[in-house]
Amino acid sequence: MSGVRKTAKVTKAMESISAIKMRVAQKKALDGREYSFLVFSILKRISKVVKRNVDEIFARAVPEGGRTVILLISPDKGLTGGMNNFLFKKVFNLIQENELSKENLSFVCVGKKGYEFVKKNGYEVEKYFDSISEKTDSEEIEEVSRYIEEMYRKGNCSRIFSVYTNFINTAEQRPVSRIILPVVYDELKTVVKDIVPNRGKFSDAEEIDIDHSDVAAYIFEPSIEAAMASLVPFVLHVAVYNSLLESFASEHSSRMVAMKNSTDKANELADNLRKKFNKERQAQITKEISEIVSGIEAMKD
């Protein structure tokens, strides 16, 4: 009973720490959503109308049989309930849906758990970023987007997916997969739609009708080609940064809920052990009383 109660104290402390980190991560993720929404919406407004002016490297068609890269964003630590299992199941589903094999698939990993998962299953790791955390600033995170951008420009792969856990609310986190390169118009529509939450903060964001937007209202300096050449890599960086923010918020939320459940289970187990102990003690006392009474009666006889 003492050991279980000590475990409950540890999990309760971890729950409190995760709750504090969760609030900070949630605020960053929700604030980042508004910024990401506006950045993506700009590209969405102009990409369909000026499609020919988009950097052709980023908008090129995916060749058949080309190499695929998955940017896998995962936590560095465990104790997050089923979050990691659901995330890795999403990776397996993505591999099956696209009929990918170990010969034409590799990973770029952010987070220790994802890296260990990839190595355990025998897939190739192109790059492992082991120093990215919620305290990492935007400039350091940009190294991730620059790496996958350079890899795509050099033709080392034909398409790049990102797989991460999207923050829905404190009790719900959902693994998602997105194709981030090449820039796919319909995929951008889905990304922007998913950025706006169903309820809570930013849920009342104005829906943008990109299919009928008046792009003529934009003024491009020095040229539309130069603007698009800068905008697309920047959007890629925002996409990676937003994915990391969502993953951090999901991690701390999932860990807080897992530690709360662990604390409740430990307290429940301690109560059951106490009841069992009291029951056994009462039975022992009753047995001893019965023996004493029986001895007294035997002496009388």
d(CA 44, CA 55): 14
Q: What pLDDT was estimated at residue 216?
A: 61
Please identify which residue in the block is written with the tokens 């609310």. 169
User: Which pairing describes strands 68-73 and 159-169: parallel, antiparallel, or unpaired?
Assistant: parallel
**pLDDT tens figures, 84-123:** 999 999 999 999 998 888 888 999 999 899 999 999 999 9
Give mean pLDDT, residues 188-193: 63
Instruction: Tell me if 165 is assigned to some domain.
Output: yes
What is the total count of domains within the chain? Answer: 1
Classify residue 277: in a domain, yes or no: no
Q: What is each CA distance from 172 to 26, 59, 105, in whole angstroms?
A: 13, 34, 30
> Average pLDDT for residues 214-233, to the nearest whole number?
72
Q: Is residue 300 in a domain?
A: no
Residue 286, domain member (yes or no): no
Residue 22 lies in a domain: yes
281 is a domain residue:
no
Q: Which of the four pLDDT bands, split at 50, 70 and 90, describes residue 73?
A: very high
234: CATH: 3.40.1380.10
Predicted structure pTM score: 0.77
Burial class (CB in 10 A: 0-12, 13-18, 19+), 290: exposed
> What value does the mean pLDDT of the chain take?
80
Which residue segment(s) compose the domain that 103 sits in?
A: 2-257
What pLDDT shows up at residue 200? 54
